[in-house]
């Protein structure tokens, strides 16, 4: 196995070559193996597309480049399982009991995505480059897009759509930090950052331009792109003027917060009851 810094240098070199490399000529064997080795690190959780630091989160563009190169260098193949058949470039992740992940059919995870020990995958879809932490649950028909980051002990409820992003390589993916609860049919896209312990009620839609309005004080305070830690959020709407008249557009409302002094599960149950949050 090559050192990480060596892999980074080789991926960067291959990325520079990619736009001019003829489609009918494979990359040199050493670059091909570097790409495959890097995707293997992502698959095992040894590397992450985006990782926490003391100053926030850092997106590693070279790892996204490795994913894009992997697409470019893989061949379309036919696969089958019983009566089902697929045609794709990226294989599905393989499971073993000792990995400690419960995978309910027909949950599908692409190779190059990591799922931590103790996680439960109901019939869902997780794309390449994504990261799902230990003890998290991805519920039925939820999707975790390419490179999205989901922390430990997160509940992603049924039908949730967590967006993916590969290009531009430096763009931050969606980040859901530890101990969050994402209610059913929520949509979180465009690199929105949901901080530790937040609770999103059913149907909250968050994009980079969605107003997130804090209603806890005497005056509303609006921000975008980040849900503060331990807050309780529900869907709402605000008026907006257009040339043809005024209409209501979606927003998210912060209506309360979880208490750090109580047990997380107890706090979550209390918060859902107290604020009548649909999930």
Range 159-170 average pLDDT? 92
The residue among 166 and 262 whose pLDDT is bigger is 166
Which pLDDT band holds residue 23 (cuts at 50, 70, 90)?
A: low
Range 206-221 average pLDDT? 97
Q: Is the pLDDT of residue 46 over 70?
A: yes
Q: Are strands 221-223 and 226-227 parallel, antiparallel or unpaired?
A: unpaired
Q: Give pLDDT, residue 184.
A: 96
Average pLDDT, the chain: 93
Range 67-72 average pLDDT? 93
Q: Which of 130, 236, 238, 142 is nearest to 182 (CA)?
A: 142
**Residue 52, strand partner residues:** 57
Q: Give pLDDT, residue 261.
A: 62
Q: Give pLDDT, residue 276.
A: 78
Q: Give pLDDT, residue 21.
A: 77
Q: What does the alpha-carbon distance between residue 161 and residue 130 come to, in Å, rounded to a whole number?
A: 13
Q: Is the pLDDT of residue 266 over 80?
A: no
Q: Give pLDDT, residue 17.
A: 84
Q: Give pLDDT, residue 84.
A: 85
Q: Give pLDDT, residue 27.
A: 79
Q: Which of 195, 187, 189, 117 is nearest to 157 (CA)?
A: 187
Q: Give pLDDT, residue 207.
A: 97
How many CB atoms are located within 10 Å of the residue 141 CB?
16
* pTM summary value: 0.93
Q: Is the pLDDT of residue 246 over 60?
A: yes
The residue among 259 and 141 whose pLDDT is bigger is 141
């Amino acid at each position: 196995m090559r050192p990480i810094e060596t892999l980074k240098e080789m991926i960067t070199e291959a990325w520079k070559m990619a736009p001019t490399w003829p489609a009918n000529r494979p990359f040199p064997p050493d670059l091909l193996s570097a790409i495959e080795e890097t995707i293997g690190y992502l698959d095992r959780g040894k590397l992450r597309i985006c990782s926490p630091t003391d100053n926030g989160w850092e997106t590693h563009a070279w790892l996204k480049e490795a994913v894009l190169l992997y697409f470019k260098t893989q061949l379309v193949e036919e696969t089958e399982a019983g009566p089902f058949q697929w045609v794709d470039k990226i294989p599905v992740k393989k499971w073993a009991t000792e990995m400690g992940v419960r995978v309910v059919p027909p949950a599908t995870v692409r190779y190059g995505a990591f799922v931590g020990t103790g996680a439960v995958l109901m019939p869902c879809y997780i794309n390449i480059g994504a990261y799902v932490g230990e003890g998290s649950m991805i519920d039925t028909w939820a999707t975790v897009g390419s490179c999205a980051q989901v922390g430990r002990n997160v509940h992603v409820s049924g039908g949730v759509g967590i967006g993916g992003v590969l290009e531009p390589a430096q763009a931050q993916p969606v980040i859901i930090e530890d101990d969050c609860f994402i209610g059913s049919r929520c949509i979180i896209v465009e690199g929105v950052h949901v901080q530790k312990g937040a609770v999103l009620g059913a149907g909250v839609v968050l994009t980079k331009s969605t107003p997130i309005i804090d209603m806890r004080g005497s005056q509303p305070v609006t921000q975008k792109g980040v849900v503060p830690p331990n807050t309780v959020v529900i869907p709402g709407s605000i008026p907006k003027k257009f040339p043809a008249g005024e209409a209501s557009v979606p927003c998210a409302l912060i209506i309360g917060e979880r208490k750090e002094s109580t047990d997380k599960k107890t706090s979550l149950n209390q918060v859902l009851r107290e604020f009548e949050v649909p999930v």
